Structure 1
Amino acid sequence: MFKILLIEDDTTLFNEIKERLSHWSYNVYGISDFSRVMNEFTSIKPDLVIIDIQLPKFDGFHWCRSIRGHSNVPIIFLSSRDHPSDMVMSMQLGADDFVQKPFHFDVLIAKIHAILRRVYNYNTEAVHLKTWCGATIDYEKNIVANERGSIELTKNEVFILKLLVEQKNRIVSRDDLISRLWDDKRFISDNTLTVNVNRLRKRLEEIELGRFIETKVGQGYIAVEEVPV
């Protein structure tokens, strides 16, 4: 049974989400002390974290940064604020998805199913290592390494890279990427994919690989094997 840590201070909403998720056999944990979120995160060791942005003591962005400093566990943000910057910020901090309040519970549950299935199932493939542009991609450890160093990617980042590299030198459409990343693309804005790809490219630039992910305007993205001309 998957463990979900729900960092939400609205008791009514917390209880409703917990009840809904319990029907899917998820174990849902809450926070008893919002000044000690990391202590409870370390103790629970959740498989997925859902964070509200507006929280007592520190906001959800603060705790996302803290979690990302220790773990690549999937993170979903919840927000009642209607600011596109909140979504951009959450993706830049390494969140896997963003849900706007008020939301339909079926949408939240679908997103949880999709993320858990993607994160914890695709690594069962026989081949974990892939060579690309002189670098080794370890799909099991989410690490990309070459002679310039190594970087650890989030689950979303390595999944995007995997989709592109498996079809290297071929354009992968935006619709295909969105549908593979988020099962129901009706609930995903086009900007969400852009933010995720840009974040991946920025991480790859740390080991001088960012330029090998090209944007094809109006079409999608391509992972090239050779240095772009």
Structure 2
Amino acid sequence: MFKLLLIEDDVTLFNEIKDRLTGWSYDVYGIADFSKVMQEFTSIKPHLVIIDIQLPKFDGFHWCRMIRAHSNVPIIFLSSRDHPTDMVMSMQLGADDFIQKPFHFDVLIAKIQATLRRVYNYNTEQIKLKTWNKATVDYENNTVSNEAGSIELTKNEIFILKQLVEQKNKIISREELIKSLWDDERFVSDNTLTVNVNRLRKKLDDLGLGRYIETKVGQGYMAVEEVI
């Protein structure tokens, strides 16, 4: 599991990013004392650092300099500042990428994956299997299997299930699912999404898993992970 150090003082944003990245199997750490960033960095030994520019005590540029004096760990800046000099400065200090707030989470995860692949020769496509409620979800072969048997899903169905399972126990809005399908070049309307989710749930019923895809009226859908 890759360890990511998220240096962000906005607690709400930190928790949101941490929750989303944890769903992608990353181990995410934060900073308790912003005057001791380097001590935390040395203790954690992260594989990648995500850092805001505007921080208490010292700004992100300061900590980027400090980190670069001791390590070549990849660094991605997050910032609400949109002046071109900020991006230029971050790159001159040795950052690997720069993302402007507000951002879509898919952009962040794509840049993280691309950076990890480049630096650690890590192929994210190797993550093809996911365990969910004692069932194996095979993203490559579009199947779900457990002791009750195996089912085959369509491309849309496996994509929807993947979005839900990767963020299990969290409500995913219909808008977010539709946008994800759109970004992946699969156009899905609101009605088509409903049909696909219903078909997915019906197929999962054959394995006793349909009840774990919950509809949250007026909010979206959630893949529930049973606590054992």
Q: TM-score, normalised by structure 2?
A: 0.53
What SS is found at the alignment partner of 1:14?
helix
Equivalent AA in structure 2 for residue 117 of structure 1: R
Secondary structure of the equivalent of 1:76? strand
Correspondence for 1:19 = 19
Letter of the structure 2 residue corresponding to residue 50 of structure 1:
I
Question: Structure 1 stretches (4+) deviating beyond 2 angstroms?
Answer: none
Displacement after TM superposition at 1:92 (Å): 0.0
Please list, as runs of the form range in 1=range in 2, the aligned pairs for 1:175-194 lying within 5 A after superposition. none
Map of 1:82 onto structure 2: 82
Which secondary structure state, in structure 1, belongs to the residue aligned with residue 121 of structure 2? helix
- What residue number does 2:115 align with? 115
Partner of 1:102: 102
Q: Does 1:73 align with 2:60?
A: no
**In the alignment, residue 46 of structure 1 is paired with which amino acid?**
P
Match of 1:43 in 2: 43
Give the letter for the 1:4 counterpart: L
C-alpha distance in structure 1 between counterparts of 2:84 and 2:97, whole Å: 13
SS of match in other structure, 1:33: coil
Using CA pairs below 8 Å that are at least 6 residues apart, which structure has the higher relative contact order? 1
Does the alignment pair 1:91 with 2:91?
yes
Partner of 2:188: none
Question: What is the CA deviation profile of residues 191-222 of structure 1, one whole-angstrom value per residue up to 9, with x for unaligned ones?
Answer: xxxxxxxxxxxxxxxxxxxxxxxxxxxxxxxx
The count of corresponding residues between Structure 1 and Structure 2 is 122
Gaps of 5+ in 2: 123-228
Deviations 1:44-80, CA, capped at 9 Å, x for gaps: 0000000000000000000000000000000000110
Structure 1 residue 82, shift from structure 2 partner: 1.1
Look up the SS of the partner of 1:99 in the other structure. Answer: strand
Q: Tell me what 1:140 maps to.
A: none
Aligned equivalent of 1:168: none
Asked whether 1:5 is paired with 2:1, we answer: no
Letter in 1 for 2:59: D
The whole-number CA distance in structure 2 between the counterparts of 1:121 and 1:106 is 21
Q: Distance in 2 between matches of 1:66 and 1:81?
A: 21
Q: Once the two structures are superposed, what CA deviation does each residue of 1:157-214 show, in whole Å capped at 9, x if it has no partner?
A: xxxxxxxxxxxxxxxxxxxxxxxxxxxxxxxxxxxxxxxxxxxxxxxxxxxxxxxxxx
Q: CA RMSD in A?
A: 0.7
Matched residues in 2 for 1:82 and 1:66: separation? 23
Q: Which runs of 5+ in 1 are unaligned?
A: 123-229
Match of 2:126 in 1: none
In the alignment, the residues of structure 2 paired with residue 51 and residue 97 of structure 1 have an alpha-carbon distance, to the nearest angstrom, of 11
- Aligned letter for 1:17? I
In 1, Cα distance between equivalents of 2:71 and 2:98: 18
CA distance in 2 between counterparts of 1:77 and 1:61 reads 9
Q: Distance in 2 between matches of 1:67 and 1:118?
A: 19
Deviations, residues 97-122 of structure 1 (Å, cap 9, x unaligned): 00000000000000000000111017
